[in-house]
A = this chain, B = another copy of it.
């Protein structure tokens, strides 16, 4: 594949707090693609449904990444594409060793479950339901499922990686690009990650990594939410 020009050939539309956008920003940074053109847009003002994003992808979805004449807007597709396009620059998203490679792939797709259990089933439910219409039993059940899932992740770290530095093995991989932003979203919403010792140490370690630190969703630096703080009761019950 031809060498892409980092400054001229890439254009990214992204939004602060969008997990799929953040994954792409981390992936680009890890491939040492830093000085690309980009624009932050506002989801609140529906800017993703306006030109020129619609020109770039018909669904008006973000991230919307243009590389030369190629447009991609699925974060997973983007990461796999970047991995093939840019082999000799920055980290490898997938290790060569077959056993580790399988673990990274499994862990990457497995981490999408947190998106369902945390973001879709709990956070978006709370955001998009008027408080007087909350189904409290349903919401509590969903929070329990989320807590169980995080306990499972914590146990995974406990069994697998004594230092809890990375999701798989001793290298930063695609699995971290997917797991870390998802955890960070829960933490942003008040999830008491400190109660999961191994997960907490993994989270803190990776938040200091330049690719993640520098792309941390800007509006999260000044706002927080407490909609998941009461998960501490459910964790302590276990």
Q: Which residues of A are interface residues toward B (Cβ below 8 A)? A: 1-2, 67, 69-74, 76-77, 80-81, 84-85, 94, 98-99, 101-102, 105-106, 108-110
Contact = CB atoms under 8 A, between A and B. Distances in A.
A77 B109 contact: yes
Contacts of A106: 71-74, 77
Given A77-B108, A108-B77, A109-B77, A102 B72 contact: yes
A56 B105 CA distance: 17
B85 A70 contact: no
Give the number of times this chain occurs in the complex, counting copies.
Answer: 2
A155 to B, nearest CB: 9
A108 B84 CA distance: 16
Secondary structure call for the A interface = helix
A130 to B, nearest CB: 15
Contacts of A70: 98-99, 102
A72 B1 contact: no
Contacts of A69: 99
**In the complex, the 10 A-B pairs of residues with the closest C-beta atoms, listed nearest first:** A74-B109, A77-B105, A70-B102, A77-B109, A77-B106, A76-B109, A1-B98, A72-B106, A80-B105, A81-B102
A208 to B, nearest CB: 28
B74 A101 contact: no
Contacts of A76: 76, 105, 109
A74 B107 CA distance: 9
Q: Which of A85, A94, A99, A101 has the most B CB atoms < 10 Å from its CB?
A: A101
Nearest to A106: B77
B1 A105 contact: no
11 contacts: A69-B99, A70-B102, A74-B109, A74-B110, A76-B105, A77-B105, A77-B110, A80-B105, A81-B101, A84-B94, A84-B98
Contacts of A98: 1-2, 70, 84-85
